[in-house]
Structure 1
Amino acid sequence: MRVSLFALAASLAAVPAFAQEARPADIVVTGTPDTEQATREIQRTAGGVEIVPDTAFKGTPVQHIKDILAFVPGVIAQPRMGDDARVSIRGSGLSRAYGIRGISVYLDGIPMNTSDGLMDFFEIDPSAYRYVEIYKGGNALRFGSNALGGAINLVTPTGRDAAPFDARIDIGSYGYVKGQASAGGNAGNLDWFGTVSAQRIDGYREHSRGSAVRGNFNLGYRLSPNVETRFYLTAATTEQEIPGEVGKAAALGTPRAANPVWIAQDQQRNVDSVRISNRTSFRFGETRVDAGVFYNWRRVDHPIYQYLDYTVDDYGAFVRLVDERSIGGLRNRLTLGATLHNGTIDTEQFVNTAATKGALTASMIDRSRNFSFYAEDALSVLPQLSLIAGVQYLDAVRDRRDRFLSNGDQSGRRDFQLWSPKAGLLWDVRPGVQLFGNVSRSAEVPSFDANVVTATNLKPQRATTFEIGSRGRSGGVGWDVSLYRSRIDGELQCLTTGPFSPCSIVNAGKTVHQGAEIGVDAAVPLSAFASGDRLVLTGAYTYSDFRFDGDPLYGDNELPGVPKHYLRAELLYRHPGGFYAGPNVEWAPGRYFADNANTLTVDPYALLNLRAGFDASDGLSFYLEGRNLTDKHYISTVAIAGTAGPGAEIFNPGTGRAVHAGLRFEW
């Protein structure tokens, strides 16, 4: 977390988070709170949440999402190749080796997932955001999400909080080069912000070259003191070679080698995308309303085991109301919202011959319709104690029209109606210290790559999660602790069935996800080399105990995919003049499994990293960072199987020793 909630909360510690009276500085008309306002807002959540400000990650290469989420307990990000990474929160999408499942991703509060629920990270520019919000599990109800893993909200600057000009250049091992420039400003009621980045990388492994150009722009206009509208435009074009999974011996013995079949097929993932949206915010006394519309277009050119060529057209609308007033002398906060998210995926599939389209093998139109309604009420029954109750309703339709009938008609339609209630409490024990607890339900509909419309026995994944925890700061020490237990019925697993085929989606039956998420930070004054210098310790520990619960085939075996223990820790020396330096570690002690049968394991690993930099007062800064300095051979990601033999090609090696450097100027 580095800075995260702890340091930001220090300035708010004098007033209990929920008990604060609304002040003019707290009132956000624009719909885009600054980092301090967002911190104050997120602390009203009765569960595990985090904010990662840009100051915590823009002093690194910020190549992919892991560079943002690395110090958030409960989140495990496992890079695959290029910008791609598998992200799991509390075991969400545990078996997915590609894309993201079980987490709702938002850009400035606007949905990024496709309408059937999938998401990948090729479109995300990690260096473009002011801060990133993480809502774990049922705590994401504020956006109407009811996914097991919760939600990630990426928030871009506006012209009212951005520097007039900001530019940086990053270079690193394996041909990594990235440049970025942004500008922002305002004139009266109008403000604007834009950022563009371009990068390329040769890749640690063979056949992993990649490049990307991305842009994020927004334009806001304040129509009156209580009304503002903001338009967003995001565009990206990415090209990425895929080196492919290999056997365990190859992953650890010759980690830079690609799978020869992937090379022969010239497997790639090339994506062009455009997102256009609007959000308008209104304030009527004690009530605020955000309403908006969005359209997302994506073209994917994707030669893999076959040549996939598909276009995604998603569109929708949302409205969210927050009302804060006293009821019978008790403070109350009511949230109501609704989201319509529809879309079409137009897919053609061909025989892949070295990234050349062969004979047509499949053609289909997939349509998704999603309507969700959610409500949450927080009643302050005592000045420091709030009771929370909420519910989400999802009406989802998945419809496929098969246009390639020589292998039979795969057309079909499935309808789902799912309710997900929630209850919790938030206690401000004293200024700056909170206790919380909640129980919530979640529900996830299978996506189209699960062949949801023809697999009539495939059902939605349902879970009940119990959580307790605490966050706060005492003296120079901050903490954030959550303990949770999820009982899941019909967990969706994506099992690898062969070396050159897509995974097969199944319901796993009854499973249990339980664990602990522990984050700490501490600043120790030194005054060793200068008055005000200090040591800053940041740590994030995630304990994940995921297992089957009396499964007829796998008994009480452990669920594969992520390490049981995972630790990130950093110790930095900071000089008041702007210099900083120190080591950090990534440690996954103990083996974990690669298959449901628990026959094949992933070895433990520990990575030693070191970073140093200087932030000058005139806006100039630079950094130098070394990663995996011992050049440890380890496995970063595994594509899980039901039962995997010793030679199963399901492993992605982690990156070896790498050095990065960057220069940034802010004016």
Structure 2
Amino acid sequence: MKFINQAVSIQIKLIFLAGFLWWGLGVPLDGFAQSANYNEQKLTPNFFQMDPVIQVAENKILKKEKSEPGTMVLDEVEVIGKERFFDLGARPFDRSKEFLEKVPGGTTLIDAEKMRETSMQELEDAFLFAPGVHIAGQNTGLEGVKIQIRGSGIRSIHSPIRGVSIFRNGIPMTRANGGTDTQNLNYFVWDHAEVLRGANAMTMGGSSLGGAINIVTHTGRTSPGFHGRLTFGSNEFTSPSVSYGYSENKWDFFTSFSLISTQGNRDTANSGTAKWGFISAGYQWNENNETRFIVDIQDHDWENGSTLTLASLRNNPAQNNRNPLDPNFEIPHMRFSLKHNVKTEDWGSFSLGTFYQRNDYNFPFRAFGFFEDTWEEVGVVARNEQDRNWLGFNNHLEMGVNTQYMWVKDENFSSVNQSKGPIVFREDNYFTLVEAYFQDRISLTNSFDVVLGIQGIYKNQEFAQTFPVTQSVSEESPGINPKGGFVWQAMEEVQLYGNVSRSFETKTLNNIGDSTGANKVRDQKATTLEVGTRGGSSLFSWEASFYHAWVQDELLVVESPPQSMNFLLGNADESLHTGIELGAESNIPLSFICSGDSLRIRGTYTWSDFRFDGDMNFGDNRLPGIPEHAGLLEVLYKHNSGFYFGPNVEIQSDKVVDFANTFSAPAFTLLGLRAGYAPKNTFYKFFLEANNITDERYAESINVAVNLNGMDANQFLPGQQFSMFGGVEFEY
């Protein structure tokens, strides 16, 4: 029996059984789960869909070697896994790891599976073990949080934040005006996230001092089947979340609905509710073309708790001096994105995407006024990656452009007998942002790469006031950011890197006056030097970066007076940002109580020395709002049965509250404990955590002031007191 010049192709398909309807969309009720094994290595649809193909190579035959009567020995059979096409901005987890290891600067890969070991109360849980990322929440945690990296974002209010660019699947979530609503980031649908600190964000198009975060969401292929989660806890915290993923042939589909409801950490009027709806549908036209459409529908509703004096916070952090006439804030959000990805032999991979997003802000302060804003935005992004051989060297090229156009309708109404009165102010704002970038990673040797890049930014802002007077102003902000760096694989498990880069951050005009007069606001510019190392083995991994940034015209914001919704924007002349970012994790096999048990130790440390540099008014004072030292350590014992438990400790040094450095929020130490049961090969998990076991009274966040003259003031938002959370997670 001979088979000559023939190829046999066998495809094994797995389709998960499904028996329910989700959001009114029908799903077939039959199929088989996808799996394939070869050489004891599982080919899984978790990050790729593999179409294992058994091929008998041309001109190879089945040989009839006789060993025993009636038997024959076959030629070697080669199994080839065809990697499913993937999006350039939504790399699978393993590809994200490879991508970040080639960046000549500080990066962190966040695994959402580890995030789900926590209660997932707020966005802060996602970044617990990302060094250099400082998160500060407030009250319920649903109002959005401050995200600060390398001092960029010090000037931010809680939401929208500024100074850090946020992307999702490679498409900007940060708006053309520079703001990002962090309550819209929906961490329930994350597969993983890439943190690129500083100018390392150039490879995504980010241009700010702080860098960028790229969130990669689940699809029907990365999260197949039904997933459910239910969390209960202190302050009447309730959070159900359900999702379903499905794929068949060229289609995949993923949908999720999540809810958080809580009464907050105050005695009165501090409740909040957040609802996140998410749909992702993908279609692979052929092996070189794929399209994905994503829909977000969200609604956020909360009551703000008041800021307190430090003395009041220490006496009773649950008290709330909120004006009973202050409103419930409700912000509905919608977002649609469409992206097409193409692979070519000659020109590498292309991604082309577009999006639309809208937020409606309604702030009905019955005591003094009603404020209504509508923010809408459209954008188009394009990216290309290709490999070239120039002058005998391998070159990996990354280039792209992000274009965004945003329009804002801003209306203020008077309050008449605590009801909405006539209009007192109307303004229309328009923002255009273009960020184009080119980067070349040149492999001089097998272990040493040089990275060269350049970025161009153009932003145009136009403000047109139409009531009570008519006036308008527009301003353009162009900028250029060069970058040079290296990555050296010094040993198999040790990598060294460094870079010198330029960042450019455009001002955001709050009103007509910001663009005129002697106090005209200027764009922020910085030059940053960075060196560091990363590496690891199966037992131990680490990342460490040192950076120093010379910042010109740093943008600073204060709310004056507190809780007035009146924010003052200005520039520092010169400032210095110096820091160290350390992260490490060790997984130690013990076989102590049973065979296969282990100890996972992980921690982060961040040193942040941010200060004015010979300022006319503030000399060399520290910049407020950020602790100089911050660290987190967790030790988790994991039993072979699936049971785990362990303590954690978070430490922060004091942080100054005002630019004059006359008053500080004191240092604090928080102790916590986590436990759970996640047996292998089962459909359920249980988790439990206790936070702030010693019931520390501390300020989690502060509102920055100019000069408090050493006097206590209402600038502090209390952190969570002793609390417990627990729940169950299941999937099939």
TM-score of the pair, normalised by structure 2:
0.85
Alpha-carbon offset, residue 483 of structure 1: 0.3
Task: Give 1:85 deviation, angstroms.
Answer: 1.3
Equivalent residue in structure 1 for 2:604, among 540, 556, 559: 540
Question: By how many angstroms is 1:474 displaced?
Answer: 4.4
Contact 1:398 1:453 in 2 (8 A): no
The answer for the alignment partner of 1:45 in structure 2 is 103
CA distance in 2, matches of 1:471, 1:492: 32
Counterpart of 1:245 in structure 2 is: 307
Q: Deviations over 1:417-446 (max 9, x none)?
A: 111111100111122321100011111112
- The separation in 2 between residues aligned to 1:188 and 1:354, in whole angstroms, is 62
Letter in 1 for 2:718: P
Q: Residue by residue, what CA displacement relative to the aligned partner does 1:563-611 show, whole Å, maximum 9, x if unpaired?
A: 100001100001122111000011113x221001000111000000100
CA distance in 1, matches of 2:417, 2:557: 26
Which of 634, 646, 659 is the matching residue for 1:570? 634
> Which letter does structure 2 place at the counterpart of 1:202?
Q
Q: Matched residues in 2 for 1:603 and 1:216: separation?
A: 41
Q: State the AA in 2 paired with 1:293.
A: T
Q: Which segment is superposed worse, 78-87 or 545-554?
A: 78-87
Pick from 297, 301, 310 the counterpart of residue 235 of structure 1.
297
Deviations 1:59-114 (A, max 9, x none): 21212110000111101101113222111001111132322110111122111122
Are the structure 2 counterparts of residues 81 and 354 from structure 1 closer, same or farther at C-alpha, using a change threshold of 3 Å? farther
Question: Deviation string for 1:373-409 (max 9, x for gaps)?
Answer: 110011001111111111111111000110212xx54
Cα deviation, residue 228, structure 1: 0.4
- CA drift of 1:296 comes to 0.6
Deviation (angstroms), 1:631:
0.8
Q: Does 1:640 align with 2:701?
A: no
CA contact (8 A) 2:85 2:287 kept: no
Deviations 1:525-548 (A, max 9, x none): 221111111111100000000000
Evaluate the alpha carbon distance shift between residue 455 and residue 587 of structure 1 in structure 2; reply closer, same or farther with a 3 A threshold.
Answer: farther
2:661 maps to 598
- Alignment partner for residue 70 of structure 1, among 128, 148, 151? 128
2:330 is the alignment partner of 1:270 = yes
Once residues 697 and 230 of structure 2 are traced to their aligned partners in structure 1, the CA distance between those partners, rounded to angstroms, is 29
CA distance in 1, matches of 2:582, 2:93: 22
The question of whether the paired residues in 1 share the 8 Å contact of 2:255 and 2:278 is answered with yes
Q: Distance in 2 between matches of 1:611 and 1:455?
A: 54
Residue 87 (1) aligns with residue 147 (2): yes
2:573 paired residue among 485, 509, 513: 509
- Aligned position for 2:722: 657
Tell me, in whole angstroms, the C-alpha distance in 1 between the residues paired with 2:312 and 2:516: 35
CA distance in 2, matches of 1:306, 1:600: 32
Pick which of 435-444 and 88-97 moved more. Answer: 88-97
* Residue in 1 that maps onto 2:508: 447
Partner of residue 582, structure 2 = 518
Secondary structure at the counterpart of residue 423 of structure 1: strand
1:214 aligns with 2:308: no
Task: Give the aligned partner of residue 258 of structure 1.
Answer: 320
Closer, same or farther: CA 607–351 of 1 in aligned 2, 3 Å:
farther
Instruction: Give the direction of change, closer, same or farther, for the CA distance of 1:244–1:169 in structure 2 (3 Å limit).
Output: same
CA displacement 1:21-53 (0-9 Å, x = unmatched):
xx9777743443221121112211111111111
For residues 381 and 639 of structure 1, the distance between their equivalents in structure 2, rounded to whole angstroms, comes to 49
Q: Which residue of 1 aligns with 2:343?
A: 283
The aligned counterpart of 1:17 is none
Distance 2:146 2:673 in 1: 24
Unaligned runs of 5+ in 1: 1-10, 12-22
Counterpart contact for 1:26–1:37, Cα < 8 Å: no
**Counterpart residue number, 2:185:** 124
The separation in 1 between residues aligned to 2:418 and 2:648, in whole angstroms, is 41
Offset, 1:361: 3.0
The 3-state SS of whatever aligns with 2:313 is helix
Between 1:265-274 and 1:178-187, the stretch displaced more is 265-274
Deviation at 1:289, TM superposition (A): 0.4
Q: How does 1:234-383 map to 2 (within 5 A)?
A: 234-259=296-321, 262-285=322-345, 287-303=348-364, 306-351=369-414, 356-383=419-446
Distance 1:354 1:37, change over 3 A: farther
Change (3 A) 1:551 1:306: farther
What is the aligned partner in structure 1 of residue 623 from structure 2?
Answer: 559
Query: Does the Cα contact within 8 Å between 2:84 and 2:287 map onto a contact in 1?
Result: no
RMSD: 1.8
SS at match of 1:127: helix
Structure 1 CA distance for aligned equivalents of residues 557 and 307 of structure 2: 15
Moved more, 344-353 or 632-641: 344-353
Alpha-carbon distance change, 450 to 418 in structure 1, aligned in 2, over 3 angstroms: farther
Segment of structure 1 superposing worse, 278-287 or 464-473: 278-287
Does the C-alpha gap of structure 1 residues 500 and 73 become closer, same or farther in structure 2, counting only changes over 3 Å?
closer
Moved more, 77-86 or 341-350: 77-86
2:334 alignment partner AA: V
CA contact under 8 A between 2:87 and 2:351: conserved in structure 1? Answer: no
Say which SS state the counterpart of residue 606 (structure 2) adopts. Answer: strand
Give matches, 1:14-33, under 5 Å. 28-31=85-88, 32-33=90-91
State the 1:121 CA deviation. 1.6
Q: Which amino acid aligns with 1:41?
A: F
CA contact (8 A) 2:163 2:209 kept: yes
Mean CA deviation greater in 217-226 or 93-102? 93-102
**Secondary structure of residue in 1 paired with 2:200:** helix
Structure 2 residues not aligned, in runs of 5+: 1-40, 42-79
Contact 1:292–1:317 under 8 Å retained in 2: yes
Deviations 1:125-180 (A, max 9, x none): 22221011111010111111101111111211111111311001011100110111
| Residue identity in the other structure for 1:258 | N
Residues 635/352 of structure 1: CA separation in 2 closer, same or farther (3 Å cut): farther
Q: Which residue of 1 is the match for residue 156 of structure 2? A: 96
Alpha-carbon displacement from aligned partner over 1:552-572 (angstroms, at most 9, x marks no partner): 100001111011000011000
- Higher mean alpha-carbon deviation, 322-331 vs 290-299, is at 322-331
The TM-score, its normalising length taken from structure 1, stands at 0.93
Which AA in structure 1 matches 2:197?
Answer: K
Deviations 1:412-471 (A, max 9, x none): 111111111111001111223211000111111122436575345101111111100000
* Distance (Å, rounded) in 1 between the aligned partners of 2:509 and 2:153: 15
How many residue pairs are counted as aligned between the two chains? 641
Matched position secondary structure for 1:81: coil
Do 1:518 and 1:541's aligned partners in 2 also have CA atoms closer than 8 Å? yes
Matched AA of 1:544: S
Contact 2:250/2:284, CA 8 A, preserved across alignment: yes
* TM-fit CA distance, 1:326: 2.4
Aligned to 1:411: 472
Determine the C-alpha separation between the residues in 2 that align with 1:662 and 1:446.
44
